[in-house]
Amino acid sequence: MAFSVTSLQLVNQVRRRMRHDDVTAIGQLRDLATLDAINRAMREVLIGSVWESDKRHTQMSLKARLEGVTIAGSVNSEFILVAGTSGSTTIDTASDVYGDFITRVLPNGSAAYGNTALRALKATTPASNSSVMTLPFQLADAVSVTAGELFYSEYILADTVRSILSVTHQDESLSLEQVGATVEFSELYPRQQVEYGAPKSVSVGGLDVPTYNAAGDAPSPGLRMIVWPPPDDEYVLDMEYLYRHPELVTATDTLDGVPDVVVDSIVDMATADMQQNYDRNTNEGRALRRDSMEKLDRAYKVQGAQVTERAVIGNWDGSAGRVRRRDSLIGGRTIG
């Protein structure tokens, strides 16, 4: 049975196994060390195996490309000005330029950069129907005020998403690929702008940082998901994923949805950790850890999940390490 247990309850379970009284707060050195041991045990037990209880479902909405903008930038500058037009295209909300996604700027009216999807590292909050975006490099050629568009094909998933198991759109399964951590978007999909439309393929792998508010600091990296082709509408994806349990920090933080037999194993392993590393009772700690691992193996036979491991792929021509199968190529994505 899955349930919710607080950090304080877990600490007290470890204390009882070690013949100590319960506490009402986590503040003393021993209890803080116990909480550290519990977090280590959680990582080993929950991330080291795939549990059926950690399978979760969610939905996410993709961002539609934003056409009809104008783009301008000076030579030897890493800043570009992206502005809406007097027509239907406006840049007036933060979600137009930064969020849990990476904004790509395509100045398709530029002779020098018309075929290059420029990455926006950060952007100012829109004002007067425009935003100043920072590129990862200085422009070698000036971009006079020219027609362009923004598109959003890369998304940074929540910290609680450990891995994606399946993705569907309107009940149709999408091709799901595991990509190498060092493969860049431009390597995976050369000439990204050649096709827009409903999602056909999803690639997950590596850590990246979304385009963020220029007035703040860069956020921590998160798991990267790339959708092909870049969406032209706000399509909704249904996803099954493995949940990553957050670290327990305060006494009221909770470990949720974990079967009681798995929680018992976490407590046992944290107790063994404390015996070995805090109380220096090596023999008793090793014996308890051995028993805990045997109990965990028995629990996994009942509670464990079966998932298909996907081969990690490199870029389109295989130069990043692993060779992509020819039949996995999406039509149009290697054009150019």
Over residues 42-55, the pLDDT tens digits come to 999 998 788 888 99
Whether the per-residue pLDDT at 316 is higher than 70: the answer is: no
Whether the per-residue pLDDT at 266 is higher than 50: the answer is: yes
| Cα 315 to Cα 149: distance, rounded to the nearest angstrom | 25
Are residues 187 and 320 in contact, defined by beta-carbon separation less than 8 angstroms?
yes
Lowest pLDDT segment from 13-27, 49-63, 193-207: 193-207
- pLDDT tens digits for 134-150? 999 999 999 999 999 99
Phi first, then psi: give them for residue 118, nearest 5 degrees: -80, 135
| Cα 179 to Cα 188: distance, rounded to the nearest angstrom | 9
The pLDDT assigned to 323 comes to 41
- pLDDT tens digits for 67-115? 999 999 999 999 999 999 866 678 989 999 999 999 999 998 899 998 8
The pLDDT assigned to 155 comes to 97
The pLDDT assigned to 187 comes to 76
The pLDDT assigned to 258 comes to 92
Q: How many Cα atoms are found within 13 Å in the side-chain-facing hemisphere of 220?
A: 5
Whether the per-residue pLDDT at 2 is higher than 70: the answer is: no
Q: Residue type for 39, please?
A: N
Q: Residue 277 corresponds to which tokens in the numbers above?
A: 């590393």
- Domain extents for the chain? 2-57+244-303, 63-234+310-328
Q: What is the mean pLDDT of residues 163-169?
A: 92
The pLDDT assigned to 329 comes to 39
The pLDDT assigned to 233 comes to 94
Q: Where do runs of H (alpha helix) occur along the chain?
A: 7-17, 29-42, 185-188, 260-277, 282-303
Q: What distance lies between CA 10 and its chain's CA centroid? A: 28
The pLDDT assigned to 331 comes to 41
Are residues 70 and 128 in contact, defined by beta-carbon separation less than 8 angstroms?
no
| Cα 68 to Cα 84: distance, rounded to the nearest angstrom | 7
Q: Residue type for 169, please?
A: H
Whether the per-residue pLDDT at 319 is higher than 60: the answer is: no
**Helix (H) or strand (E) run with residue 252 in it:** none
Percent of the chain with pLDDT over 90: 64
- pLDDT tens digits for 97-106? 999 999 999 9
Lowest pLDDT segment from 37-51, 110-124, 314-328: 314-328
**Helix (H) or strand (E) run with residue 70 in it:** strand 66-73
Nearest 5°: the CA angle 130, 132, 135 is 140
Q: Residue 62 corresponds to which tokens in the numbers above?
A: 């993709």
| Cα 155 to Cα 223: distance, rounded to the nearest angstrom | 8
Does the bond joining 136 to the residue before it have cis omega, within 30 degrees of 0? Answer: no
Sequence-distant (≥ 6) Cβ neighbours of residue 253 within 8 angstroms: 6, 7, 246
Lowest pLDDT segment from 116-130, 175-189, 311-325: 311-325
Split at pLDDT 50, 70, 90, the class of 198 is very high
Between 97 and 285, residue with greater pLDDT: 97
| Cα 5 to Cα 145: distance, rounded to the nearest angstrom | 58
Indicate the length of the chain as a whole number: 336
Summary mean pLDDT of the chain? 87
- Of 213, 192, 72, the closest CA to residue 139 belongs to 72
Domain 63-234+310-328 sits in CATH at: 2.40.30.20
Give the single-character DSSP code of 195: -
**CA distance to 75, 131, 213, per residue, from 71 (Å):** 13, 10, 19
The pLDDT assigned to 304 comes to 66
Whether the per-residue pLDDT at 299 is higher than 50: the answer is: yes
